[in-house]
A and B are shown apart, each in its own frame.
Chain A
């Protein structure tokens, strides 16, 4: 009798749970990036240059509705003039198979250093954002996104 039952695979771990959706895994839980991998990527780009907080608004949901499509909206405080603008912005995911998510190149013609896209997240994790200003200074920000099966009351 039991042999005819559907079995919950490891990959779908929580997916089949009652009322819940899953951490929509984009890969089995094998090798994932981590803090070190992200730090190494940043080091490749900018060496050991100091990074300040502030100026970056990292707008992501607290809880992902679908791990395969997680909106991310970034806005950097800047006048966006020829003399003072945001040159580049890099986004990394600490809990994905590879740390890179997206790298933006802005110009003063943008008028506003703001961009939005959608990303895949394998599990609950921190997202790291690094912004490079035209004068070479760096800023960073971090946000945690929960990928969950949920549970419903109300």
Chain B
């Protein structure tokens, strides 16, 4: 496991080296803690098989900055448990030194100064270097590469190519199997078209056709690696038809389907599988509960909630892995099998530091080729930011504040609603806001920015409903994601209360007046799941706002008062 490095006090020499660089005290200490490619790959191999896991890449072909959340509340039984730890509490739990490379990769405080020191993370060419190095070390026949989904969505080039750029790079990476969520927003026909031709397996045990209630995709695939049979069962996001536009895949029904999953595990064991892996897009808390109820799964590779943890979480005989998002990490598990059963698992969450890892030239060439038709567009500078722009956090993110500001001004609205998506890169103060940066936060297949009237009572009802999807004490009733972001309105939330009584104190920020339950307000929003939503695509709304503003400054957002956490 990484993250055992002791925190090193800044020496006089290190301080001298970085003097005048603008780094904060943690950043100065960090300068001497950069990892090398060899450090990242260092691993004591064991057992017959190595599983590599990536998840939630969100179509990020290139290295980027991505700030982890400062607020990530757990509710009910998981309150205060990882991954619901942030910053100092996270570092203490996983024994990570402040200012270290791991602290930068996994926590949010001092992000700007650490980002300037450690540089960007991710990039498919860097991931390819790690994957190839491990295949060379272990032998191709011992390595299984699995993708937890949310891979084909999240960039301008993936939107323009209907996911083809990501399909091409994942094929080049010799992906073995994946499961899915956002992929479905390309529409059922397109997904089926890709899956029919794909060189990798597309697995989902929990999708049924609505007509006859029969499986739409293969539920599992058994791989023979290192002389051992490994069954990989796919689990797509159970809430896809609630979270995303159902009309894009009208014939499919999702759900957790515990009983059917249990049957899959039993059938896989009967086929001689020594290792049963659930390649899941349930989200961490759902998988933690599922691990306590479905028996016989050795490893759950989690996704959806974008958590990254440098350690395994054990539930009974099952271990859970959280591999982060946006290509920032690759998880490696070396598994020893004895007497037909898992005897030992060794794990490392490998941080993909773009400056430390030499790009794989073949993959770099492919990525350049795939991006070429859009390269000029992507690089176009629309404006600049004075503030750190990021998205993660339960209640707000400065990039979301920017999107809400754009809707308020460009759509002449009193209140703006922006979904609590967890994907999209971060920008450091002083960086340009390019077309790529805007579309990395907005590229979806249902981008229309609507404008309509809602009463104060309806606004409260929406907030209550979304809050229940995040803070319901039973994870099976949660949908994942973060609170809807709001421009122009403040509120208070008690996350510990039941549905219907969490939200109070709705305030129209401009007037300072309480929101009137019966008055109608002009509301702009985007990413409606309703078919036929009218309005310009959100990326144009944000572009026009940034172009008109030139330099974006986002004030600290204190419009949401949180209690009960």
Note whether A and B contact each other (Cβ less than 8 A).
Answer: yes
> B476 near A153 (CB under 8 angstroms)?
no
Bound-state CA distance A76–B140 (Å) is: 49
- Residue B477 is within 8 A (CB to CB) of chain A in the complex: yes
Bound-state CA distance A154–B522 (Å) is: 28
What 1/0 mask marks residues of chain A from 55 to 88 whose CB sits below 8 Å from any chain B CB? Answer: 0000101110110010100000000000000000
How many chain A residues sit at the interface, stated as a range, is 20 to 34
> A152 near B452 (CB under 8 angstroms)?
no
Q: How far is the CB of A143 from chain B (nearest CB, A)?
A: 12
A14's contact among B462, B520, B526, by CB below 8 Å, is which?
B462
What 1/0 mask marks residues of chain B from 405 to 445 whose CB sits below 8 Å from any chain A CB? Answer: 00000001000011111110000000000000000000000
B529's contact among A21, A153, A154, by CB below 8 Å, is which?
A21
> A6 near B480 (CB under 8 angstroms)?
no
Which residues of the other chain, B, contact A7 by a CB distance below 8 angstroms? 452-453, 520
- Asked if A6 meets B242 with Cβ closer than 8 Å, knowing A152-B420, A153-B421, the reply is no
Question: Chain A residue with minimal CB distance to B418?
Answer: A18
Bound-state CA distance A85–B549 (Å) is: 74
- Residue A16 is within 8 A (CB to CB) of chain B in the complex: yes
Interface centre among A62, A146, A151, by most chain B C-beta atoms within 10 angstroms, is A151
A8's contact among B256, B303, B454, by CB below 8 Å, is which?
B454
Stretch at the interface among B36-44, B168-176, B343-351, B464-472: B464-472
Q: How far is the CB of B414 from chain A (nearest CB, A)?
A: 10
Q: How far is the CB of B498 from chain A (nearest CB, A)?
A: 12
> B477 near A154 (CB under 8 angstroms)?
no
Q: Which of B498-525 contact A (CB under 8 A)?
A: 520, 522, 525
A5's contact among B422, B451, B466, by CB below 8 Å, is which?
B451
- Residue B255 is within 8 A (CB to CB) of chain A in the complex: yes
Bound-state CA distance A81–B237 (Å) is: 41
Q: How far is the CB of A63 from chain B (nearest CB, A)?
A: 6
B246's contact among A15, A66, A146, by CB below 8 Å, is which?
A66
A153's contact among B455, B465, B481, by CB below 8 Å, is which?
B481
B422's contact among A69, A150, A154, by CB below 8 Å, is which?
A154
- Residue A17 is within 8 A (CB to CB) of chain B in the complex: yes
Q: How far is the CB of A144 from chain B (nearest CB, A)?
A: 9
- Residue A116 is within 8 A (CB to CB) of chain B in the complex: yes
- Residue A115 is within 8 A (CB to CB) of chain B in the complex: no
Q: How far is the CB of B403 from chain A (nearest CB, A)?
A: 12
> A151 near B452 (CB under 8 angstroms)?
no
Q: How far is the CB of B91 from chain A (nearest CB, A)?
A: 24
What 1/0 mask marks residues of chain B from 253 to 284 whose CB sits below 8 Å from any chain A CB? Answer: 11110010000000000000000000001010
Interface centre among A5, A14, A63, A149, by most chain B C-beta atoms within 10 angstroms, is A63
- Residue A45 is within 8 A (CB to CB) of chain B in the complex: no
B526's contact among A2, A18, A63, A65, by CB below 8 Å, is which?
A18
A19's contact among B150, B474, B477, B528, by CB below 8 Å, is which?
B528
Bound-state CA distance A89–B49 (Å) is: 50
- Residue B231 is within 8 A (CB to CB) of chain A in the complex: no
Bound-state CA distance A152–B469 (Å) is: 9
> B530 near A152 (CB under 8 angstroms)?
no
> A8 near B241 (CB under 8 angstroms)?
no
> B470 near A6 (CB under 8 angstroms)?
no
- Asked if A150 meets B455 with Cβ closer than 8 Å, knowing A59-B259, A62-B256, the reply is no
Bound-state CA distance A148–B469 (Å) is: 8
Which residues of the other chain, B, contact A2 by a CB distance below 8 angstroms? 453, 520, 522
Which residues of the other chain, A, contact B520 by a CB distance below 8 angstroms? 2, 7
B481's contact among A63, A66, A69, A151, by CB below 8 Å, is which?
A151
- Residue B210 is within 8 A (CB to CB) of chain A in the complex: yes
> B484 near A18 (CB under 8 angstroms)?
yes
Which residues of the other chain, B, contact A110 by a CB distance below 8 angstroms? none
- Asked if A20 meets B246 with Cβ closer than 8 Å, knowing A2-B453, A59-B259, A63-B477, the reply is no
Q: How far is the CB of A152 from chain B (nearest CB, A)?
A: 4
Which residues of the other chain, A, contact B421 by a CB distance below 8 angstroms? 152-154
> B242 near A154 (CB under 8 angstroms)?
no
Question: Chain A residue with minimal CB distance to B481?
Answer: A153
What 1/0 mask marks residues of chain B from 480 to 493 whose CB sits below 8 Å from any chain A CB? Answer: 11111000000000
> B420 near A16 (CB under 8 angstroms)?
no
Q: How far is the CB of B472 from chain A (nearest CB, A)?
A: 8
Bound-state CA distance A138–B385 (Å) is: 68
- Asked if A65 meets B242 with Cβ closer than 8 Å, knowing A2-B453, A153-B422, the reply is yes
Bound-state CA distance A151–B422 (Å) is: 12
Which residues of the other chain, B, contact A13 by a CB distance below 8 angstroms? 458, 461
Which residues of the other chain, B, contact A15 by a CB distance below 8 angstroms? 530
- Residue B239 is within 8 A (CB to CB) of chain A in the complex: yes
> A148 near B243 (CB under 8 angstroms)?
no
- Asked if A149 meets B462 with Cβ closer than 8 Å, knowing A16-B528, A18-B528, A21-B529, the reply is yes
> B253 near A65 (CB under 8 angstroms)?
yes
Question: Chain B residue with minimal CB distance to A8?
Answer: B454
Which residues of the other chain, B, contact A63 by a CB distance below 8 angstroms? 239, 242, 477, 479
Which residues of the other chain, B, contact A20 by a CB distance below 8 angstroms? 242, 462, 465-466, 528-529
Bound-state CA distance A97–B210 (Å) is: 25
- Asked if A69 meets B210 with Cβ closer than 8 Å, knowing A14-B458, A154-B56, the reply is yes
- Residue B199 is within 8 A (CB to CB) of chain A in the complex: no
> B477 near A153 (CB under 8 angstroms)?
no
> B237 near A8 (CB under 8 angstroms)?
no
Question: Chain B residue with minimal CB distance to A118?
Answer: B210
Which residues of the other chain, A, contact B253 by a CB distance below 8 angstroms? 65, 71
> B419 near A151 (CB under 8 angstroms)?
yes
Q: How far is the CB of A56 from chain B (nearest CB, A)?
A: 14
Bound-state CA distance A13–B229 (Å) is: 51
Q: How far is the CB of B431 from chain A (nearest CB, A)?
A: 25
Given contacts A7-B453, A62-B256, A154-B304, 11 further A-B contacts (CB under 8 A): A1-B412, A5-B522, A14-B462, A18-B419, A63-B477, A65-B242, A149-B462, A150-B242, A151-B479, A152-B420, A154-B237
Closest 8 CB pairs of A and B: A153-B481, A152-B243, A151-B466, A65-B241, A154-B304, A150-B242, A18-B525, A19-B527
